[in-house]
Structure 1
Amino acid sequence: MDFTISPEVDDLRARIADFVERELIPLEPHPASYDEHENIRLELLDELRDKARAEGLWCLQLSPEWGGQGLGKVGMAACYEAMNRSLFGPVVFNCAAPDDGNMMLLEAVGTEAQKERWLRPLAEGAVRSAFAMTEPHPGGGSDPTMIRTRAERRGDAYVVHGRKWFITGAEEAAHFILIARTSDDARRGLTAFLFHRDDPGWRILRRIAIMGPEEHGGHCELEFDGLRIPAENVLLGDGDGLKVTQIRLGPARLTHCMRWLGLAKRCVEIAQAYVAERQSFGVRLADRESVQMMLGRLAMNIEIGRLLVMKASWELDRGGFARSEISMAKIHVADTLHEAADVAIQLNGARGYSKDTVLEWIYRYARQARLVDGASEVHRMVLNRFLNERGRDFWSWPVAEG
C-alpha cells in the first residue's frame, strides 16, 4: 500500500488550501454570509464558485471530459480534506453531497444520452440534485430491500407511487435519482430512475427541520402519486437498482469521511489557538497535562481516520470494492468528528458554546455523521459479517505478484 500522492495532486491540494484560507475562512464569522438555514448564502456561493472555476479547482472528482480534474480516490482524499477546513468548502468546489455522489454515479453507469442530459448540468454547476432512497417506516432505510415505493411498468414508461423522506437537497434540486421497487425479487426487485423536478405526479410534503445546519434544499419528505418516468430514464437496467445503490453509496460514504476529517482538523486548530493564549490559575491551558492528553488523543484519532480513508481509497483505485474498509472508516471518522467538536468546545469554554466560533455549527452538524449513509451500528454489523465470512483472513495483507 503506497499512499504517496503525486506532485500534481499535491499542487491541487495546496491551491485548494490557499483558496480556503484566502476566500472562505474570512467569510465564516459574518452572519451575512449565511442563509436562513445556516448554510452559505446562494448569491455568495455563485460568486465563489466562479472564482473556484477560474482557478481550476472545480469538480475534482470527474474526468476532464466533464470539466473535472480526473482525480482518483487517493487524490480526492487529500484534496477533500483540505477543502473542508471551511464549512463552505465542498459546495464551492462542486464536491458536496449529494451532488458529488450523484455525479460520480452518472459518470460511471449513465448512457451517453443520460450523461448529456443529467450529468452535464450538474458538472457545470447549473443545477443541484438529490438521491431519493430513504423511506418512512415501514419502508427502507439502511436496508434497501425494505423499500416500498413502487414503479409499475406501463408501456414505454413507469408510474411511481410511494413516499420518501430525509431526502437531502430536495427543495433546491432539479435532477433526482429515485430508487423504487419494480418487482418482489429479492436481488433484482429495485430499479433506479432519473426524473426532473418539473415532472408532474410528485410533490414535496415538507422540509423536515433538523438539529444541525442544513445543506441547501434541506431534508425533505416526498410523495409520489403517479409520477411517469420514461424507460429511457432507467439507470443501468430494470432490476439493477440494488447494484446502483452499491456503486453510489460506498464511494459517497468515503467522500463524507474525507470531508469530515477536514472539519475535525479545523476543530483542533481552533482549540490549539485558544489554549495557547488562555490562562487559568496562573497556568497557560496548553501547559496543562490534561489538555495535552485531550489534544494528543484527537491528533491520533484523526491520523487513524486518515489512514483508514486512504486504505479504502487505495483499494477502490485498484479496482476493489473496499466494503469493510469503508465501513471502518465511516464508523471511526464519524466518531472522531464528534469527539473533535466536543473537545474543542470544552477547551474553549463558553466561547466554544457561543457562535463566536464555528465549533457549535460543526458540533450540531457532526451528530448526523453517525447516522447518514448507514448508522454506525449497521456498519459494525457489516464488519461482523465479513469477519465471520473471512475468519482470520479478515486481517490479511495484500500480496504483490511475484
Structure 2
Amino acid sequence: MDFTLTPKAEDLKARVRAFVETEILPLENDPASYNEFENIRMDLRDKIRIKAKVAGLWAPQMPEIYGGLGLSMVEQAVFYEEANRSIFGPVCFNCAAPDDGNMRCLEMVGTEDQKRRWLRPMIDGAVNSSFAMTEPHPGGGSDPGMIQTRAERHGDTWKVYGRKWYISGAAVSKHFILMARTDPNPEEKRRHLTAFLFHADSPGWRILRRIGNMGPDEHGGVCELEFDGLEIPDEDRLMEIGDGLRLTQIRLGPARLTHCMRWLGLAKRCMEITQEYVSKREGFGLRLADRESVQLTLGEVAHDIQIGRLLTMHAAWKLDQGDRARKEVSSAKIHVADTLFKAVDTAIQLNGARGYSTDTILEWIYRYARAAKLVDGASEVHKMVLARFYGKEGSDYWQWG
C-alpha cells in the first residue's frame, strides 16, 4: 500500500481544487444560488456542469469511452475529497449520490442496450436517478431479506406492487433502479430479489409524498412511493432473476466508500473555516488559536480526519485490487460518519454564534452530517458486520493481505 499519489492524481487534485475555489465556492454566499430545499438551483447546477465538462472534470467514476475520467478508486478518493470542499461540489462534477452509485452499478452489470438507454443519459447529466429499495415496516430497510414489494411475471412483462420510502432524489428522477421480491417464498432470503429499471413516465406508480426532514434536502428529496401494477418489460430486468441481493452488494459497497470520500472533504472544510476564525478572533487578551484547549480540540479533529483518510484509502486500494473490502468499507463508513459530525460540531462550538448562524455554511453541514450515521446502513449495522467478521476470522481479522 503506497499512498504516494501519481502525477495524474496530483494534477487532478490541483485542478479540482482550483475549479471549486473559483467556480463553486462563491455560489455558497449568494442566497439566489439556492432552491427552496437549500440546495443549489438545478438550472445553476447545469451551468456549472457545462464548465466542469469543458475543464475535463466530469464523471470521474465512469470509463473514458463514456465521456468520464476512468479513475481508479484511489484516484476517485483524491477527486471526491476535493470536490466536496464545497457543499455544491459533487453534484456539479456528476459524482454525487444517488446518481454516482447508480451509474457505477449500471456500468458494471448492465447489458450494452441497457447502458445505451439508461446509463448514457445519466453520465451525460441529462437525467437524475434513484435507487428504490427501502420500505416502511414490515418491509426491508437495512435487512433486504424483509423486502415486501413484489414483482409478478406475466410472459415478457413484470407487474410490481408495493411501497418504498425515503427514496433519495425520487421527486426529480427520470430513471429508477427498483428492488422487488420475485420469489414469493417468505423463507427464501438469498435468491428472493430481482432488480429492475423503470422510467418516471411509466404508469402504475406514484409518489405519495416528499418526506420532510432535517435537511438541507438533496435534489428530489426523499420520497414515499407506491406501486400498483407498474409494468416493466423483462428486457429492463438487471442481471438474472434472483440476483437482486448480489446487485445491492455490488452497488452499495463502493457507494458507501464514496460517501466517505465526500464527507472527508466537508470535514476538512469545517476545519478550514474554524482555523481561519480562531487565528483572528481574540478574547480576554489572547487569540483563540493560542489557547491550549482550542489547540487540543482542533488537533483531535485533525487526527480523526487523517484516520478516516487512511481507512478510506485502504478500502479504495483493496477495491482496486479486486477485493470486495466489506469490513474495510464498513470501518471507514463508521469512522468517517462520526468524524464529519464531530468536525462540524467542533467548528460550530469554536465559531460561536457565527457558526450557529447562516453567516457560514457550518449549520448547513451540521444538519446534513447527522444523516451520515444512517444512510447506506446505520452505524450499528456496520458494527455488526465487523463483529461477524471478527467472530469468523479471529486474529486473522487484522491481516494485511
In the superposition, the TM-score normalised over structure 2's length comes to: 0.99
- Structure 1 segments unaligned to the other structure (5+ residues): none
Q: In the alignment, does 2:390 pair up with 1:394?
A: no
Q: Tell me the distance in 1 between the aligned counterparts of 2:55 and 2:356.
A: 36
Shift of 1:381: 0.4
RMSD: 0.6
Q: In the alignment, does 2:79 pair up with 1:85?
A: no
What is aligned with 1:25?
25
For 1:64-83, list aligned pairs within 5 A. 64-83=64-83
What is aligned with 1:320?
323
Shift of 1:4: 2.2
Percent identity between matched residues is 67
Q: In the alignment, does 2:219 pair up with 1:213?
A: no
Shift of 1:344: 0.2
Q: Tell me the distance in 2 between the aligned counterparts of 1:13 and 1:285.
A: 31
For 1:26-41, list aligned pairs within 5 A. 26-41=26-41
Q: Tell me the distance in 2 between the aligned counterparts of 1:222 and 1:101.
A: 20
For 1:302-321, list aligned pairs within 5 A. 302-321=305-324
What is aligned with 1:344?
347
Letter in 2 for 1:162: G
Q: In the alignment, does 2:266 pair up with 1:263?
A: yes
Q: In the alignment, does 2:13 pair up with 1:13?
A: yes
What is aligned with 2:165?
165
Shift of 1:8: 1.0
Q: Tell me the distance in 2 between the aligned counterparts of 1:271 and 1:71.
A: 32
- After the TM superposition, which segments of 4 or more aligned residues of structure 1 sit over 4 Å from their partners? none
Shift of 1:336: 0.2
Instruction: Give the secondary-structure state (helix, strand or coil) at the position aligned to 1:174.
Output: strand
Q: Deviations over 1:226-251 (max 9, x none)?
A: 00001111111110000000000000
For 1:106-145, list aligned pairs within 5 A. 106-145=106-145
What is aligned with 1:60?
60
Q: Tell me the distance in 2 between the aligned counterparts of 1:186 and 1:266.
A: 42
What is aligned with 1:176?
176
Shift of 1:396: 1.0
Shift of 1:56: 0.4
Shift of 1:258: 0.2
Q: Tell me the distance in 2 between the aligned counterparts of 1:144 and 1:5.
A: 38
Q: Tell me the distance in 2 between the aligned counterparts of 1:287 and 1:118.
A: 55
Shift of 1:186: 2.0
Q: Tell me the distance in 2 between the aligned counterparts of 1:273 and 1:124.
A: 38
Q: Would you say the 8 A contact 1:3–1:314 is kept in 2?
A: no
What is aligned with 2:206?
203
What is aligned with 1:283?
286
Q: Tell me the distance in 1 between the aligned counterparts of 2:157 and 2:245.
A: 20
Instruction: Give the secondary-structure state (helix, strand or coil) at the position aligned to 2:196.
Output: strand
Shift of 1:42: 1.1
Q: Would you say the 8 A contact 1:139–1:148 is kept in 2?
A: yes
For 1:233-272, list aligned pairs within 5 A. 233-272=236-275
Instruction: Give the secondary-structure state (helix, strand or coil) at the position aligned to 1:8.
Output: helix
Match of 1:357 among 353, 357, 360: 360
Q: Tell me the distance in 1 between the aligned counterparts of 2:400 and 2:56.
A: 38
Q: Would you say the 8 A contact 1:331–1:376 is kept in 2?
A: yes
Shift of 1:335: 0.2
What is aligned with 2:43?
43
Shift of 1:9: 1.7
Shift of 1:29: 1.1
- Structure 2 segments unaligned to the other structure (5+ residues): none
Shift of 1:66: 1.0
In the superposition, the TM-score normalised over structure 1's length comes to: 0.98
What is aligned with 2:337?
334
